[in-house]
Amino acid sequence: MESKKTRHSYTSVKKLEIVQYAEIHGNRQAGKVYNVNEASIREWRKKKRILETMKPNTRARRGRKAHWPVLESELKAWVLDLRHSGRRVSTTSIKLKAISIAKQQNIEDFKGSDQWCNRFMHRNQLSVRAVTSVGQNLPINWQETVELFKLFISEKIVGVERNQIGNMDEVPMSFDMPSNFTVESKGTGDVKIITTGAEKCNFTVVLSVTCDGGKLQPMVIFKRKTIPKEKFPPGIFVQANEKGWMNEEYFAIWLENIWSKRRDSFFKPKSVLIIDSAPSHLTPMSKINAAKHSQIAVIPGGLTKKLQPLDISVNKSFKGHIRNKWEKWMIEGYHTFTNGGKMRKASFSEVCEWIVEAWSLVTTSCVKNGFYKAKIVCDDEEIIGNSSDFEWTEEEDINFINLEDPLPDSFLDLLNSLDIQPAENCD
């Protein structure tokens, strides 16, 4: 009875070693020395360049070659072009586009199946990824505008203590906050997450921090005509309006009840409040109300991801803690149901408890990092000046820190030395 031949596999490094020997002594001699079939050596010599690009311990080059390379080349360019412009690309859109290209190229046997799509993505180093950032593109010449704002701020915060340099931002939220990912058994077709159906029932949380790592009391604006008649936990300021978001009236309420009650505000030291360019912040009445409490630094439109401390480091942490609270409530919390069997959403007081607890979990270092990364202050910078060295006048209150204001001569000299020209319009 004939004995079965034992098959051997070789790493790419070993194959290259045999190829190099064969190039000097011939295929037959290399086969005898290494006990390898001569046909295999001829094949390896043809693929020498491919072997040189493979990882050292790789034994085989798995995967099919593209059956329609021209189609895939055009499709890959289309995907990368969309991603370069920040557009979302799904596997469904890839298959539809591939079928469209196939028709243009008169390819009749192309089906654009799920299996083909997976192989196409694997061949072209593409994969489905979680979105890490959502928003508009940065404006043209944004680097120049960012540097101008940083220079302007550095001039204005001279003499202002860190606990008087603040940032405020509105964070839109909903009563249901499911994650886009979950653990599930392999092969499951329908990966479902149960919610109360209140994903579109929104409210606004107004967060504010100071440069020394301080956190001011959060304010929540629920979407309803009146403030709910529930017992709310201490440490949160509850309001309500029909839209559920910030407007001129509630900006004034926030200034009066939150910002004006920050630490050491009783002595009216010089302060700077950094806000984004939301319309509710920039109305004539909002400017007058804000000037009664602080100087206001308005971040140029589209640059909050670069210049707003809360956007840079705090909001993501806060939202993560809120989502954890919601998930724990969904798993362990007490739930009531309608007559139709639908689970009711969390109560207003429960949501407020989540906000207070989540806000307490945001660390001081997280808050400070937002100001450091925005380059509002430097990490090794000492407390800036003493507020008692400056007089606070009503005339000075009205001066907003905005890039539309004339730049001081000292800044123009500094910009000239850096070969940077101030932007005419930073909106």
Q: What is the DSSP string of 212-274?
A: TS-BPPPEEEEESSS---S-PPTT-EEEEESS-S--HHHHHHHHHHTGGGSTTGGG----EEE
Which CATH number covers residue 156? 3.30.420.10
Q: Higher pLDDT residue, 169 or 154?
A: 169
pLDDT at 64: 63
Longest dimension (CA), the chain: 107
Residue 363 within a domain: yes
The Cα angle at residue 103 between residues 98 and 109, in degrees rounded to 5: 80
- 171-214 residue pLDDT tens: 999 998 887 777 777 777 777 788 888 888 899 999 999 999 99
pLDDT at 88: 82
Residue 90 within a domain: yes
Percent of the chain with pLDDT over 70: 83
- Tell whether 79 and 156 lie within a shared domain: no
pLDDT at 419: 46
pLDDT at 394: 34
- Tell whether 100 and 164 lie within a shared domain: no
Percent of the chain with pLDDT over 90: 39
- Name the strands in the sheet holding 272-275, side by side, starting at the edge strand that comes first in the sequence: 237-241, 219-223, 202-210, 165-174, 272-275, 295-298
Measured distance CA(400)–CA(298) in Å, rounded: 8
pLDDT at 216 over 60: yes
Cα dist from 258 to 197, 217, 265, whole Å: 33, 6, 11
For 302, residues 6+ apart whose C-beta sits below 8 A from its C-beta are 136, 137, 138, 139, 142
pLDDT at 427: 37
pLDDT at 281: 92
Residue 330 within a domain: yes
- Judge whether 155 and 408 are in contact, CB under 8 Å: yes
pLDDT at 248: 93
- Tell whether 40 and 146 lie within a shared domain: no
- Tell whether 109 and 219 lie within a shared domain: no
Q: 74: alpha, beta or left, given left = phi > 0 and alpha = psi -120 to 50?
A: alpha
Tell me which H or E stretch contains 101: helix 91-104
pLDDT at 86: 76
pLDDT at 356: 96
pLDDT at 62 over 90: no
Q: What does pLDDT average to over the chain? A: 82
pLDDT at 135: 61
Residue range of the domain that includes 37: 12-53
pLDDT at 255: 93
Pick the closest to residue 239 from 247, 256, 223, 227 (CA basis): 227
pLDDT at 132 over 70: no
Which CATH number covers residue 77? 1.10.10.60
Q: Which residue type does 308 have?
A: Q
Residue 353 within a domain: yes
Measured distance CA(99)–CA(79) in Å, rounded: 14
Q: Higher pLDDT residue, 100 or 57?
A: 100
For 266-292, what is the mean pLDDT? 88
Model confidence at 133, pLDDT cuts 50, 70, 90, reads: low
pLDDT at 407 over 60: no
pLDDT at 169 over 90: yes
For 402-406, what is the mean pLDDT? 45
- 72-131 residue pLDDT tens: 999 999 999 888 877 788 888 899 999 999 999 998 888 889 889 998 998 888 888 877
- Judge whether 298 and 400 are in contact, CB under 8 Å: yes
pLDDT at 411: 45
Please, what is the angle between helix 284-291 and helix 248-257, to 10°?
10
- Judge whether 401 and 149 are in contact, CB under 8 Å: no
- Tell whether 114 and 156 lie within a shared domain: no
- 245-261 residue pLDDT tens: 999 999 999 999 999 98
Measured distance CA(424)–CA(403) in Å, rounded: 9
Q: Strand, coil or helix: what is 16?
A: helix
Residue 21 within a domain: yes
- Tell whether 45 and 103 lie within a shared domain: no
Domain count, the chain: 3
Model confidence at 237, pLDDT cuts 50, 70, 90, reads: very high
pLDDT at 139 over 90: no
pLDDT at 251: 94
Q: How many residues does the chain have?
A: 427
Residue 192 within a domain: no
Tell me which H or E stretch contains 167: strand 165-174
pLDDT at 393: 36
pLDDT at 420 over 80: no
Residue 187 within a domain: no
For 274, residues 6+ apart whose C-beta sits below 8 A from its C-beta are 153, 165, 166, 167, 168, 296, 297, 299, 307, 308, 309, 376
- Tell whether 264 and 319 lie within a shared domain: yes
pLDDT at 388 over 60: no
- Tell whether 309 and 270 lie within a shared domain: yes
pLDDT at 140: 76
pLDDT at 3: 53
- Tell whether 220 and 347 lie within a shared domain: yes
Measured distance CA(344)–CA(95) in Å, rounded: 39
- Tell whether 380 and 290 lie within a shared domain: yes
pLDDT at 63: 58
Residue 62 within a domain: no
Q: Strand, coil or helix: what is 208?
A: strand
Lowest model confidence (mean pLDDT) among 122-131, 224-233, 357-366: 122-131
pLDDT at 379 over 70: no
For 414, residues 6+ apart whose C-beta sits below 8 A from its C-beta are 151
- Tell whether 270 and 411 lie within a shared domain: yes
pLDDT at 401 over 50: no
Handedness of CA 213, 217, 218, 219 (dihedral sign): negative
- Tell whether 46 and 156 lie within a shared domain: no
